[in-house]
Structure 1
Amino acid sequence: MRRPPGLSARMKLALSYAGFLAVAGALLLSVVWVYLLRYVPNTSRGLLGISPNRYLLVHTFAPAAAVAMAFLLVFGLVGGWLLAGRMLAPLTSITAAARRAGNGSLSHRIGMEGRRDEFRELSDAFDTMLERLESHVAEQRRFAANASHELRTPLAISQTLLDVAREDPTRNRDEVLARLRVVNTRAIGLTEALLLLSRSDRGTFGREDVDLSLVAEDAAETLLHLAERRGIKLDVTGGTARTRGSAELLLRMVTNLVQNAIVHNLPVGGTVTVHTEARGDASVVRVENTGQPLPPELVPTLVEPFRRGAERARTDEHAGVGLGLAIVHSVVRAHDGTLDLVARPAGGLLVTVRLPGLP
């Protein structure tokens, strides 16, 4: 928005300081003038009926008062200009950092020193904002690069299969079509996951009352066949846990957690337990599964996009596209909740989701 130029903040402060000093000086001179008139005798009348003593006082006091007022105005302007410049100096650093950020440089920090005051708090808040923006931009760049790589892989495979089919007319047509279908299905799944992740990040969804215990039962029923085929015992326990949000996104969140717990489990005799409960003012969903021991330093990175086990990345049809826990994290964040991942000492993972509850 273009606006006409005006006085700078420094000039406004200088004029305000000079004006205040001039008013204070005028009041002080008025008090002195009243005091002098009170104690100067007025016994005789001179020219125009004015006492010679008071006439002399006027001619003596008025020039001195005018000089004093002029000095106060000049002193107020100069002193106000210098003081305002000193007081507003931190804003110069903040403005320079804001302009750098506007030009795309997010690595600069103000790092203001000194004791905490309003400018220091503003500077620290601006540095925190820049740090979060830089982290978010870096995360988005990594996500875009990973998404491009993941989308390029099935397209490249499809292109290779088509080239082979064209160069070798004798090749089994049904086999090529079946492989193309698998690759195409994976590409569609990845695209849908990316769209869902984008939707949950934006928070553009309707909200309604949702019982997480019913959501957990729906997710378990959907994945029961997968659990039975892998020999995984799937249990749903707990009671009503009501929250407010998108039923579709919350169902996808729990489904991703349960599917992840089934896929990343023991080869034989594994278990998955889904528990829901209302705890205080929060509604809790807890998904616990057996599995191989996880290094503690690996657990915080599991919510990053495209983090998955390399051994299942290409061979397991249910391994997903590496966005399962990333979508869970995004959905939880969009619903103002918290997500905790803890590696079980005996192996496997314990995932706890806390969402704002309803009475």
Structure 2
Amino acid sequence: MDRAPGASVRLRLTLSYAGFLMVAGVLLVAVVWVFLLRYVPDEAVRVARPAPGDVTRPLPGLLIPGRYDLWRAFAPKAAAALGVLLAFGLVGGWFLAGRMLAPLNRITAATRAAGSGSLSHRIRLPGRRDEFRELADAFDGMLARLEAHVAEQQRFAANASHELRTPLAITQTLLEVASHDPDRDTDELLRRLHAVNTRAVDLTEALLLLSRADQRAFARERVDLSLLAEEATETLLPFAERRGLALETSGDVAPALGSPALLLQLTTNLVHNAIVHNLPGQGAVRVATRCDPRVVTLTVENTGEVLSPGLVATLAEPFRRGTDRVRDGHAGAGLGLAIATSITRAHDGTIGLAPRAGGGLCVTVRLPAAPETVGGRWAPTGAPQA
């Protein structure tokens, strides 16, 4: 935004300090003047004094000045004092304003550096906590989050480009081979092209879903996570049975506020991920819900290989498939946990991933509990009934 040039804050603070000091000085002079007027007559008066021990021979009279005489003597001295006070206020105010605004100058320099693209710069303002320090710390925290977000977006863009390029490159190769080999089996070519195209479509839909969750472009309504967990497990039960896995669902009614479609996608992704990365023929997946006064919890556990904490910490990153855990073609686009994390954050919740001691993964999603009506008013879930 273009703005007309104006006086600096330091100059305005200096004038404010000096002006306040001058007002205080004028008030002080006025109080002294009013106090003196109580004991000074309007005109000068000479009072005769008798000589000590001789009442017949008086001494020269004592002159008591009038108000005009007092004003002639008092005004120049008061004006000089106010002038010194003004100079002191300007010099001292300029110095104090500079000291007070020094942290703001560092914050401004950091803001300009961030505006030019240097997100690694930090203010790190020393000293005890005050308004400027809190502003600087908040700005440093914002820069740290922004830097991490930009880095994540850059990695995401690079990974997405690579993932989308792969099916396109495969399609181009198949078409080139087919064009140079007229006798090639057309059905086989179509089958492979269909599989590659399906992978590209699934990846694109996953990217669109991830973007939708990040933008929070959805309406919120009351949703029961326990019902979504049952629907997701019923949908994926044939898939789990084909892999010889036991699929268990339990828990309490867990009402939350959000998008039913997105929360169902969240639950489905977690259950599908637990089925894919499991021990075929001898594994299990357990889905549970719990409702606390202010939080509802969805937990998805699965058996599987022993995972290191370092690997688990990276599983929610986009396109992170956990290569050691991939067993077949059901690995997907590597966006399952990333989408689940994004949906959870869009619903103001938290998601935690932890390796199980015996192998496998435990994913815990915590969302704010939906309010319920008590006596015609909205109240948090678990509030005492009227």
- TM-score w.r.t. structure 2 length? 0.88
Q: How far, CA to CA, are the matches of 1:53 and 1:279 in structure 2?
A: 86
Q: Distance in 1 between matches of 2:17 and 2:150?
A: 44
Q: Which residue of 2 aligns with 1:320?
A: 332
Aligned to 2:354: 342
**How do 1:53-68 and structure 2 match up within 5 A?**
53-68=66-81
Measured in 2, the distance between the counterparts of 1:176 and 1:44 equals: 123
**What are the within-5 Å matches in structure 2 for residues 127-206 of structure 1?**
127-206=140-219
Deviation of residue 202 (structure 1)?
0.9
Q: What pairs with 1:1-359 in structure 2 (closer than 5 Å)? A: 1-40=1-40, 44=44, 52-310=65-323, 316-358=328-370, 359=381
Range moving further from structure 2, 29-38 or 167-176: 29-38
Query: 1:239-272, CA deviations, whole angstroms, 9 ceiling, x for partnerless residues?
Result: 3111110000000000000000000000221111
**Secondary structure of the residue that 1:155 maps to in structure 2?**
helix
Q: 1:10 to 1:256 in 2, by over 3 A?
A: same
Structure 2, unmatched stretches of 5+, are 47-63, 371-380, 382-386
Distance, in Å, in 2 between the alignment partners of 1:311 and 1:62 is 93
Q: CA offset at residue 36 of structure 1?
A: 2.6
Aligned residue pairs, count: 354
Q: 1:312 to 1:188 in 2, by over 3 A?
A: farther
User: How many Å apart are 1:45 and its aligned residue?
Assistant: 6.4
Q: Structure 1 stretch 165-174 or stretch 72-81: which is displaced more?
A: 72-81
- 1:153 Cα deviation after fit: 0.6
Question: How far apart, CA to CA, are the structure 2 residues paired with 1:356 and 1:268?
Answer: 37
Q: What is the Cα deviation at residue 238 of structure 1?
A: 1.6
Q: Give how far 1:354 is off.
A: 1.1
Tell me, in whole angstroms, the C-alpha distance in 2 between the residues paired with 1:218 and 1:3: 58
Task: Point out the more displaced range, 70-79 or 127-136.
Answer: 70-79
Secondary structure of the residue that 1:342 maps to in structure 2? strand
Of 33-42 and 217-226, more deviation after overlay is shown by 33-42
Distance 2:35 2:243 in 1: 103
Distance across 1 between alignment mates of 2:36 and 2:224: 85
- For 1:351 and 1:206, locate their aligned partners in 2 and report how far apart those are by CA, in whole Å: 25
Q: Which runs of 5+ in 1 are unaligned?
A: none
For residue 144 of structure 1, what is the amino acid of its counterpart? A
User: Residues 160 and 72 (structure 1 numbering): CA distance in 2 closer, same or farther, change over 3 Å?
Assistant: same
Letter in 2 for 1:124: D
Cα deviation 1:288-334 (Å, max 9, x = unaligned): 11111111221111111111132676x73321100000000001111
Q: Distance in 2 between matches of 1:107 and 1:44?
A: 78
**Residues 295 and 366, structure 2, Cα contact 8 Å, conserved in 1:** yes
CA shift for structure 1 position 2: 2.8
- Aligned residue number for residue 373 of structure 2: none
Residue 57 of structure 2 is matched in structure 1 by none
**Shift, 1:44, TM fit:** 4.6
Runs of 4+ in 1 over 6 A off after TM superposition: none
Whichever residue aligns with residue 324 of structure 1, its letter is G
How far is 1:20 from its partner? Answer: 0.7
Residue 279 of structure 1: CA displacement? 2.4
Contact 2:159 2:319 in 1 (8 A): yes
Structure with the larger helix share: 1
> Is 2:45–2:66's contact at 8 Å kept on the other side of the alignment?
no
Give TM-score, length-normalised by structure 1: 0.94
Q: How well do the aligned residues superpose, as a CA RMSD in angstroms?
A: 1.7
User: Greater CA radius of gyration, 1 or 2?
Assistant: 2
Aligned to 2:353, the other structure's residue is in SS state: strand
- Alignment identity in percent? 65
2:363 and 2:190 map into 1 onto residues whose CA distance is 39
The offset of 1:55, in angstroms, is: 2.6
CA deviations 1:267-294 (Å, max 9, x no partner) are 2211111112212321111111111111
Distance 1:43 1:283 in 2: 90
Q: Distance in 2 between matches of 1:184 and 1:298?
A: 30
> Could you say if the C-alpha distance between residues 311 and 69 of structure 1 is closer, same or farther in structure 2, counting changes exceeding 3 Å?
closer
Higher-strand-fraction structure: 2
Deviation string, structure 1 residues 189-220 (Cα, Å, up to 9, x no partner): 01100110011011110111111111111111
Please state how far the C-alpha of 1:74 moved relative to its aligned partner: 2.1
Contact between 2:40 and 2:65, CA under 8 Å: does it hold in 1?
no
